Amino acid sequence: MHKENYNINIACFCNENFINALVELKTFFGFNLILHESLKDFKNENINAVLFDYENSKKILSLNINKPKIYIQEKNKINIEKKPEVIIKLPLNILQFNQEIINVCKKFEFNNNSLINIKNYILDKNERILKKNNIFLKITEKEIDFIEILNSSTKPLSRDFILKNIWNYSTDTDTHTVETHIYRLRQKIKDKFEDSNFIKNSKKGYSL
């Protein structure tokens, strides 16, 4: 059986029979199986996700970790009170089980990498939205690039720099072009969040 290793570490808190089955099959998995005696040991590991069953549900779901918690629901088992992020129902063949685990971790990593904290806002590059609390603003891909590059810069960026690197215009282009784009974005942010100072403008250029 072919497997592809994504360097994924999965912590397993399941009953002994299930763990023994996983250990026997671990050479077929595209992830590393990490077994722990206690939660204390687990917290010090570089873990991509947590695999757990009904017997361990209360202690795992109480953990405050920013990692996927994958619940293994065995046949004829009752549902747990608090619904986890991911549920894998057994029985499942090895290929399906392996792919389910990998897909969960890759999706989480993708979504996590698309979120950028800026001031009191979150820039979601995947969904193309700027959000604050429960308020969301749809923005364009260029506007995302513009906000992201402003956020990464330690100094204000000039109109010429923005023209060339964000909107891909030549420096011969009228600077009113970039000013129009930025004005529209600032107006959208002001209207949605009542914030006139998210993007600042000075003689040196634009900054956050």
Tell me if domain 9-113 and domain 115-207 are identical in fold.
Answer: no
Packing angle of the helix pair 141-152, 176-193 (nearest 10 deg): 90
pLDDT given for residue 52 in this prediction: 92
Cα end-to-end distance, the chain, whole Å: 52
pLDDT for residue 51: 93
What is the rounded CA–CA span in Å between residue 105 and residue 197?
A: 37
Question: Which residue ranges of the chain lie beneath pLDDT 50?
Answer: 1-2
What gap in Å lies between CA 80 and CA 87, rounded to an integer? 11
Query: Domain limits of the chain?
Result: 9-113, 115-207
Show the CA angle centred on residue 182, arms to residues 180 and 185, nearest 5°: 110
Under CATH, domain 9-113 is a member of which superfamily? Answer: Response regulator (3.40.50.2300)
Cβ-based neighbours of 48, under 8 Å, separated by 6 or more: 8, 9, 10, 31, 67, 68, 105, 108, 109
Is there a cis peptide before residue 84, judged by omega within 30 degrees of 0?
Answer: no
- pLDDT of 42: 66
Q: What is the pTM of this model?
A: 0.60
In the prediction, which pLDDT does 185 show? 95
Token pair in block for residue 27: 């050479």
CATH topology of domain 115-207: Arc Repressor Mutant, subunit A (1.10.10)
Percent of the chain with pLDDT over 90: 45
